[in-house]
Structure 1
Amino acid sequence: MRRRLAELRGPDVAPRALDARALAALAANPGCRRRALLDGAGVDKGALARALGAPAPFGQSQFAFSRGHAFEARVKGDGGGELMRLVHARTGAPGTPPPEPDEVTVPDLTAAGPAGRAERTALALERATADGGWTLLDHPMLELEVAGSPVYLEPDAVAVHPDGRRTVVEIKSFPILDGSADPAKVGAAARQAAVYALALEPLGGRVDERALLVCPKDFSNLPTAEAVDLRRQRATTRRQLARLTRLEEIAAALPEGVTFAPDRPPDELADAVRAVPAAYAPQCLSTCELAFHCRERARAAGAVEVLGREVRGELGELTTLAAVLAAAHSGPDGSDGSDGASGDGPDDPSVAALRRAARLRAEALSTADPTATVPPPERPRCP
């Protein structure tokens, strides 16, 4: 299977690592076989999107990247003493004293390749649990099986308590102002931490139900932290990852010779991407580099997915905008008033709801024609 995935990437193309943010986005859309295969094969979706002429205009700026690294270095300075004090204050067992800087063990996790680092991390966790002290794992490597293929993940840190409990630490550069932070950013950090927590579970030991979110306090560069409950995110992500189709099943359905190497001609790449089914939704625009290409194709096909998952779910078997309009304008017997039927019977609840909405619209516009458009308002004339 590894050889097949390497062929999909293209000869001499290094695999792109799948981080927790991308994995959380993949788990949020488990029906998208296109993203599952491209991420599992390590395809650089950003380069692929640029080759297709639909680059994604999002990403972290160099300034934000540098600021985040500088803040993380400050948090982990002094041998991790300040960070472990935050861990104790927010997630430590009640009544236990905070760790002194010389009481924190920071093992060396360097090894050859991600597999070697993952094995070194597992040994460090086992040793930390046996020792019964405070241990800080700085950028450990964790392994998680996704769609039948191993994925390596690197959290900011994992803290091991004296009782053996493991707490995922997420260090972010967005501020906590007056004890609260942007809910959307906190939610995204919680989903990433949930992925790391799932990757810790196979290693044994007790994984904390909370993650520690460390951010700058107010407008300063001083770190502060809050505990984030991960129970709902872990359960949701576990369920969504279990629904992913295995990569070998997706790859087996592709034509022979398909490759996603970004140096191939655009027409060939477009055919290769088209060969893998996608599940586009507007939410993909902020999480997937290939979303703008998928949106163009969905619009060209008149697919109802461009209206959002909620609308798509309400429309049932109506999969195109043309079918939706035909159903809305159909008569009581299900005919569309032209030379064919609307595609769904009049007893279909989606068709009935669309017909009622069209009738209410017509009444609101005081016209018997539900396809009539509202005339533009007259501009006020200056006296």
Structure 2
Amino acid sequence: MPLPRTRGTALRQRLAELRGPSVPPKALDARALAALAANPGCRRRALLDGAGVDKAALAGALGSPSAFGQSQFAFMRGNAFEARVKADGGAELLRLVHEKLDPTAAEPDEALVPDLAAVGPEGRAARTALALREATQALTWALLDHPMLALDVAGSPAFLEPDAVVVHPDGSWTVVEIKSFPMLDGSADPAKVGAAARQAAVYVLALEEVAARLGAGAQERDGTPAAVVRHRILLVCPKDFSNLPAASPVDIRKQRAVTRRQLARLTRIEEIADALPEGACFAPELPPNELAAAVESVPATYAPECLAACEMAFHCRARSRAEGAVTSYGRSLRAELGGLGTVDDVLAAAHGAAGDADDPAVAALRRAARLRAEALATREGSACH
């Protein structure tokens, strides 16, 4: 939900101060929004992304440059594969959508492929909305190649560009994600599929905003079907290391729900900003000690998964390790240890120097410590003989 005008203006001004008066905002994209959903408890990332801070430049200024990003080779390979999938007016792509998601519909022999060119992201988003409305009313297949969608994020529009959106003859809309990682024997790397699903969930939310603006109840006015955004997207990947496309439907309802909750939290980033010390700023040109103090004033929730999703991951990992935080070893371990948040706490509990003996985590640690001590004693005894 957009912020009230005065509140939204004040928030944008506050975020601009945090970013630095001469630093332009870095636009949020679907990857950044999806990464927020992957780590919803990280207040640091929520604030930095909400303020439009260039996290790669910030990490470099802090002395922890990021290796996050796609290689030039992977980028070129992905573009070549996408061009093959969309060749001949997207005939192969539409065939895959028909086969995997809508086999009872008419064959997509003829499909609309509207021109989405316009000036600026706002113009392209408006042209995309018009094309979606016209395709829905036409009751035929349509392929929108790289449409532009606008999603309200903390009172400001984030412009997003999915690989493709397909309009079905029944008026429903499907997001298509084209990735360059392989699909072997009909399945792909679960971690990569999960990342693609989170990214697609952002596009689905943006499409739902378009449907709401167009008025999904148009059926009552002119007889055309209401626009429905499908919650099963189509993931298209190379088949078995070839350049031939293979496709699989992916249900993204869970990812959509998580992303929607996280984006709702972003509308309250002013609460995080208000807790910062006076004068805090994330401009990369500041002295490193001032910059580090500003960054450390915002709580972070580091986990190993951040290395694949956030430019600040190396900096946060170093701080997490220095503090002995158990999250450095993974969220699953952190969840099993309950209230034991540091390695020192865990060791103290294991050796009986701290912790409640009735706590299941503490009891398990002490039992493990006893078993280890017994095993070591047995080994030493065997060595003596």
Q: TM-score, normalised by structure 1?
A: 0.85
Which of 115, 118, 122 is residue 110 of structure 1 equivalent to? 118
AA of the residue aligned to 1:257: G
Q: Which amino acid aligns with 1:167?
A: T
Instruction: Show the counterpart of 1:4.
Output: 14
Cα gap change, 1:141 to 1:95, in 2 (>3 Å): closer
User: Which of residues 38, 63, 78 is equivalent to 2:73?
Assistant: 63
Root-mean-square deviation (CA, aligned residues, Å) is 2.5
Q: Partner amino acid for 2:163?
A: D
Q: Which residue of 2 aligns with 1:364?
A: 375
Residue type of the alignment partner of 2:374: E
Equivalence for 1:208 = 230
Unaligned runs of 5+ in 1: 331-335, 337-341, 368-373, 379-383
Distance 1:231 1:345, change over 3 A: closer
3-state DSSP of counterpart to 1:225? strand
SS of the residue 1:104 aligns to: coil
CA distance, structure 2, for counterparts of residue 225 and residue 346 of structure 1: 52
Q: Which amino acid aligns with 1:356?
A: R
Residues 299-336 of structure 1 deviation map (CA, whole Å, 9 limit, x = unaligned): 11222222221222222222222222122212xxxxx2
SS in 2 for 1:213: strand
Structure 2 residue aligned with 1:278: 300
Aligned partner (choices 166, 170, 178) of residue 163 of structure 1: 170
Contact 1:148 1:246 survives alignment (8 Å): no
1:226, distance to aligned residue in structure 2 (A): 2.5
Q: Which has the higher helix share?
A: 2
Q: Distance between the aligned counterparts of 2:327 and 2:193, measured in 1?
A: 27
Seen in structure 2, the aligned counterparts of structure 1 residues 350 and 146 have a Cα distance that, compared at 3 Å, is: farther
Offset at residue 149 of structure 1 (A): 5.1
Q: Distance in 1 between matches of 2:252 and 2:245?
A: 21
Give SS of 2:377's match: coil
Contact 1:175 1:217 in 2 (8 A): yes
Q: Distance in 2 between matches of 1:258 and 1:287?
A: 25
* 2:239 pairs with 1:232: no
Q: 1:146 to 1:31 in 2, by over 3 A?
A: farther
Equivalent AA in structure 2 for residue 324 of structure 1: V
Equivalent residues of 2:324, 2:342 under 8 A apart: yes
Match of 2:334 among 306, 312, 324: 312
* Residue 270 of structure 1, CA deviation: 0.6
Contact 1:30 1:244 (C-alpha < 8 Å) held by counterparts:
no
Q: Measured at CA, do residues 219 and 32 of structure 1 come closer, stay the same or move farther in structure 2, by a change above 3 Å?
A: closer
- Classify 1:252/1:149 alpha carbon distance in 2 versus 1 (closer, same or farther; 3 Å): farther
Q: Which residue does 1:39 correspond to in 2?
A: 49
Deviations 1:35-79 (A, max 9, x none): 001111121111111111112223211111112112222322333
How many pairs does the alignment contain? Answer: 357
Q: Report the counterpart of residue 365 of structure 2 in structure 1.
A: 354
Query: In structure 1, what is the equivalent of residue 199 of structure 2?
Result: 192
Matched residue type, 2:314: F
Provide the rounded CA distance (Å) in 2 between the counterparts of 1:178 and 1:349.
Answer: 42
Q: How does 1:1-383 map to 2 (within 5 A)?
A: 1-100=11-110, 103-112=111-120, 114-146=121-153, 150-204=157-211, 205-242=227-264, 246-330=268-352, 336=353, 342=354, 344-366=355-377
Q: Secondary structure at the match of 2:290?
A: helix
What letter corresponds to residue 13 of structure 1 in structure 2? Answer: V
Aligned-partner SS, 1:170: strand
Structure 1 residue matching 2:328: 3-state secondary structure: helix
Structure 2 Cα separation of the partners of residues 245 and 354 of structure 1: 41
Q: Report if aligned partners of 2:128, 2:148 keep a CA contact under 8 Å in 1.
A: yes
C-alpha distance after superposition, 1:127-155 (max 9, x if no partner): 22122222222222223344565433211
Tell me how far 1:254 sits from its aligned partner.
1.4
TM-score (norm 2): 0.84
Change (3 A) 1:254 1:163: same
Q: Give the 3-state SS of the residue equivalent to 1:365 in structure 2.
A: helix
Which amino acid in 2 is paired with 1:43?
V
**Do the aligned partners of 2:105 and 2:169 also contact (CA within 8 Å) in 1?**
no
Seen in structure 2, the aligned counterparts of structure 1 residues 354 and 93 have a Cα distance that, compared at 3 Å, is same
Please tell me the residue identity of whatever aligns with 1:94: T
CA contact (8 A) 2:37 2:198 kept: no
SS in 2 for 1:366: helix
Structure-2 change in CA distance of 1:328 and 1:170 (3 Å): same
- For structure 2, the residue ranges without an aligned partner over 5 or more in a row are 1-10, 212-226
Q: CA deviation at 1:351?
A: 2.6
